[in-house]
Structures are given as C-alpha cells and as structure tokens.
C-alpha cells in the first residue's frame, strides 16, 4: 500500500494547516538543528552551499517504503515520524525526529540509498534539506562529518529497538502520553497540532481507543483538545503517566 493514498481519502481536509497558528508556532520554537549546530565552523562552510530551507507540511510524506532517497532533512521546527506497516494494514511509529536529528541518514549509512519505511511529517514546520547525492559525497570525503553524525545514528537505532519493546509491552495509555511528550520535546510548543486519528495511526491502534484515553486525560485536567489540536496542561502528570521508554529515548 502506498500511504499517499491516505491523503486522497478525506484526511487532507481534516489536516489543513491554520496559517496564523502555524506562523506563531514557527516564531516561538527554537530556530536551529542540533546536528548542524554541532558541526565545526569549517564543516558548516562546506555544507552550507548545499543546504536549502524548506517548509514541511503536516501529513506530508517525505518518503515511501522502497523509495530512492532524494534528500536528507534536518528538522528545525518540524517533527517527522517513521512508520512500519503491520500485517493487518495498520501502521505504527518506530521513530520520531525533530531538531535533535536528521531524516534519511539510515539509507545513506547502509549504502543502499533506498528508504526502508514510510516517513511522514507529524508537526508542520521548518527544515533544512540537502540533496542526497551531494551529501553522500560529503560523507565520503569528510571524516569529521561522518563522526559528527555517528552519535545520532546510534540514538536512532536505540530508539527503534526501544519502540519495538514499547509497542509490545506497554499500555496504549502509557504510549499515548509518551507520544505527546516526545513530540512536544521536539517542537517546543504547548499546543500540538494533532488529531485523534493521527495519534491512533502513530500508536498502531484504532481511533476509539485514543478518543477514550484523551477524554480520560482531559477529565483529569492533564490535557485539553479541540479539532486538530491537543493542549498539554499538566506536563508533570503526563510524564508520570508515560511509560519508562520516555526516559530511555524521550528527549
């Protein structure tokens, strides 16, 4: 199944970006990517001519499974999720990346240049991108850049491993809370541009389960929500309700 079909079955209308709210979100979030910031001045000068600033739209698909890698993305205010398809047709999130990382590196480091999973924008925002062919050449000729990226690749692998355990053993309520925290950590906003349908797909569960949990959390004054948005009201209590994976892979 090509996940782009989802956008052709009614979801697009539900997830249109509110421009005024989006502009405000961009202004309040930290305007940087930690990987790019961590490069030496020399390496930034080498890479900068190839970087392009882009706006990633909510629900935009950056890659489909088995796509040839065209760009590597460095999120700034955007948050991007990687999904795996389940046998029953549902998909479940296996990693989430924001300003701390990059999207597409795993394909380059595997030398395949083929994307193994579906990658979709969960929170609209800014990013930098570089042509994958150009970036691969830089990796081959600049050991310092390869070394600088190795920490993120290790973190990415640990996150996938931890999420496999999380999806198997932790309750939907715990995973729901962990999901909210991980997204908030990466976009820096109190109000997350999320729907129940989107969270259900992220967790690989059916929407009624998410709706019931959201209602419970709202009644406990931990969150509030309206169409297309979830406000985190009591982060400390959400942290207490999250599974242990948040401590392991959260920020």
What is the full per-residue pLDDT of the chain (251 aa) written as tens digits? 443 333 433 322 222 223 333 333 333 345 689 889 888 888 888 889 999 999 999 999 999 988 999 999 999 999 999 998 877 777 889 999 999 999 998 888 776 788 889 999 999 999 999 999 988 888 888 777 777 787 788 888 889 888 888 988 999 999 999 999 999 999 989 999 999 999 998 998 999 999 999 999 999 999 999 876 999 999 999 999 999 999 887 55
d(CA 240, CA 120): 28
Q: Among the three residues 109, 136, 169, which one is the final residue of a domain in this structure?
A: 169
Tell me: do 193 and 107 sit in the same domain: no
- Domain span at residue 221 reads 172-249
Tell me: do 156 and 211 sit in the same domain: no
Tell me: do 119 and 177 sit in the same domain: no
Tell me: do 31 and 151 sit in the same domain: yes
Displacement of CA 101 from its chain's centroid (Å): 10
């Amino acid at each position: 199944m090509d996940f782009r079909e989802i956008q052709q079955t009614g979801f697009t209308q539900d997830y249109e970006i509110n421009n005024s709210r989006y502009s405000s979100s961009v202004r309040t979030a930290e305007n940087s990517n930690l990987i790019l910031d961590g490069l030496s001045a020399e390496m930034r000068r080498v890479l900068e001519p190839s970087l392009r600033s882009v706006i990633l739209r909510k629900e935009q698909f950056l890659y489909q499974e088995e796509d040839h890698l065209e760009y590597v993305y460095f999120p700034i205010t955007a948050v991007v999720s990687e999904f795996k398809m389940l046998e029953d047709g549902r998909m479940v999130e296996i990693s989430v990346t924001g300003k701390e990382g990059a999207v597409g590196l795993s394909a380059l480091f595997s030398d395949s240049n083929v994307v193994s999973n579906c990658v979709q924008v969960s929170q609209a925002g800014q990013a930098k991108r570089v042509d994958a062919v150009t970036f691969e050449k830089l990796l081959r000729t600049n050991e310092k850049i390869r070394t600088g990226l190795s920490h993120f690749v290790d973190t990415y692998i640990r996150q996938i491993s931890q999420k496999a355990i999380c999806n198997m053993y932790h309750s939907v309520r715990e995973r729901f809370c962990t999901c909210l925290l991980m997204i908030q950590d990466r976009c820096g906003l109190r109000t997350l541009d999320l729907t129940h349908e989107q969270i259900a797909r992220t967790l690989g569960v059916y929407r009624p389960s998410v709706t019931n949990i959201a209602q419970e959390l709202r009644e406990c004054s931990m969150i509030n929500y309206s169409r297309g948005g979830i406000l985190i009201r009591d982060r400390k209590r959400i942290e207490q309700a999250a599974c242990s994976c948040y401590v392991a892979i959260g920020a």
